[in-house]
Every structure is written in C-alpha cells, then in structure tokens.
C-alpha cells in the first residue's frame, strides 16, 4: 500500500518494546508515547511545503523557508491527547481541534459525541492522532468528518496499527496517508490488537 508508512529505526523499536511491556508505569508510558509520536511527527510532516522567506542572520542576509499550509491537529479523545504536545513541539503554530469518539464495546463501532469544527474554516492539512488503529472505526469516522468539513490532505498517526485495520482504511481512503511505528497482524475477539499494548487510554491515564 503506497500510503502506509511504518517507521524503521532502532530507537523506535527500543521505545516501542518498553511501551508494550505490561509492567511499564503510567508516567513512563506517557513519556515513551511522546517520544514515539516525535518519530511520527517528523516523518509525517515531510509532505509540508514551504515558501521563500528573506531574513537577516547576525552575519548576513539569506533566503530561508517557512511552512505555507494552515495545519490542524485532531486528537481523538481521550488517548489521542497524549500525542498532542510532541506534535506541537514540531509544528507549534498548528491549530488543535478536539473530536470526541468512543467505541461501543458491544458492537466495536465508533460513536461521535463531540465536534465543533463547523465554527471554523477548514485547515489545509489535518493530522489525526490516535495511539491505536485497531478496527479503524473511530479513525474512519474522523476522516469522513474532516472530508465533509473540507480538509483535502489528511494524515493519520498511530503508535501501533493492526494489519486488518490499516489496510482496510487505506483502501477506503487511498488519498489519506497512514504513519505508524508498528503493524501487528492480529485482532482478537474483542477487537484488541495482538500483541498490541492493551488499552492505551487506560495505561496513559492510569485508569486500569
């Protein structure tokens, strides 16, 4: 799939192993998730375009470059919140829009409960943040919401993805780019990624 990008880096593998470990404390889990998001942020923002910007350094004049697009960051509540700060470290002028989704545990389908996008003009490029892409239901709903709003360039950032979910979404939305640190091969009967890391939201916010 041409728009699926899996980070290949020894440090990414190292941190991901620590993230998966069941004994990792919530405080460490949050820190590691932030580090891994930084890998995804740098890779996914390589598509941004720039315009020339004349500046004066302390030594001489030169022509630099500044990002042209208006950028939106869309964390899917609640787990996606952990990925916001490292994204803003890379693109501090991005706008952050919150979308509330939860998974119906009986049907494994997403339910939207919060969306105030209509109050704003659509951004030029949107980055959807969700640590886990399992069935992809919440992310699929978010992609549809952003497209209806008028966002034409969308990237999805997930720490771990299931093979089934990411391939299904890439076929449904071939224009969307998917960035992840790992692709796990199995979803269990409860639609959790295996081996995965459990419930990302519970581990991030210590609500196990």
Q: What are phi and psi of 10, to 5 degrees?
A: -55, -40
| 146 alpha carbon, distance to own chain's centre | 14
| 109 has catalytic annotation | no
Residue 60 lies in a domain: no
153 catalytically annotated? no
The pLDDT mean for the chain works out to 93
Q: What percent of the chain has pLDDT over 70?
A: 96
Task: Pick the catalytic residue from 17, 50, 107, 207.
Answer: 107
Residue 149 and residue 122 in contact, taking contact as beta carbons nearer than 8 Å: yes
Torsional class of 193: left (φ above 0), alpha (ψ -120 to 50), beta (otherwise): beta
Q: Is 93 a catalytic residue?
A: no
Backbone angles phi, psi at 187, to 5 degrees: -115, 135
Residue 109 reports pLDDT greater than 80: no
Say if 181 falls within a structural domain: yes
Within a domain: 57: no
Establish whether 103 is a catalytic residue: yes
Count up the domains in the chain and report the number. Answer: 1
pLDDT in tens, 16-47: 999 999 999 999 999 999 999 999 999 999 99
**137 contacts: CB under 8 Å, gap ≥ 6:** 103, 108, 109, 110
Taking the CB of residue 67, how many other CB atoms lie within 10 A of it?
16
pTM of the model: 0.92
**pLDDT recorded at residue 10:** 96
Render pLDDT for 72-93 as a digit per residue (tens, 0 to 9): 999 998 899 999 999 999 999 9
Name the catalytic one among 30, 35, 78, 103: 103
In the predicted model, is pLDDT for residue 99 greater than 90?
Answer: no
The domain in which residue 43 lies consists of 4-49+68-205
> The tokens of 11 are what?
């440090």
CATH code, domain with 116? 3.40.50.2020
């Amino acid at each position: 799939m041409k728009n699926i990008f899996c980070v290949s880096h020894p440090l990414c593998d190292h941190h991901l192993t620590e993230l998966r470990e069941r004994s990792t404390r919530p405080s460490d889990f949050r820190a590691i998730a932030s580090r891994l998001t930084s890998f995804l942020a740098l890779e996914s923002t390589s598509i941004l375009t720039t315009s020339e910007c004349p500046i004066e350094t302390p030594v001489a004049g030169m022509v630099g470059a500044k990002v042209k697009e208006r950028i939106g960051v869309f964390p899917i509540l609640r787990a996606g919140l952990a990925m916001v700060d490292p994204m803003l470290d890379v693109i501090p002028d991005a706008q952050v829009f919150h979308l509330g989704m939860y998974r119906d545990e009986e049907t494994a389908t997403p339910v939207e409960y919060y969306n105030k996008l209509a109050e704003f003009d659509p951004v030029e490029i949107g980055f959807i943040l969700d640590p886990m892409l399992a069935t992809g239901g919440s992310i699929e709903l978010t992609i549809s919401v952003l497209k209806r709003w008028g966002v034409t360039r969308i990237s999805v950032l997930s720490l771990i993805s299931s093979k089934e979910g990411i391939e299904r979404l890439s076929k449904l939305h071939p224009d969307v780019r998917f960035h992840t640190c790992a692709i796990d091969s199995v979803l269990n009967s409860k639609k959790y990624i295996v081996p995965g890391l459990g419930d990302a939201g519970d581990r991030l916010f210590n609500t196990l």
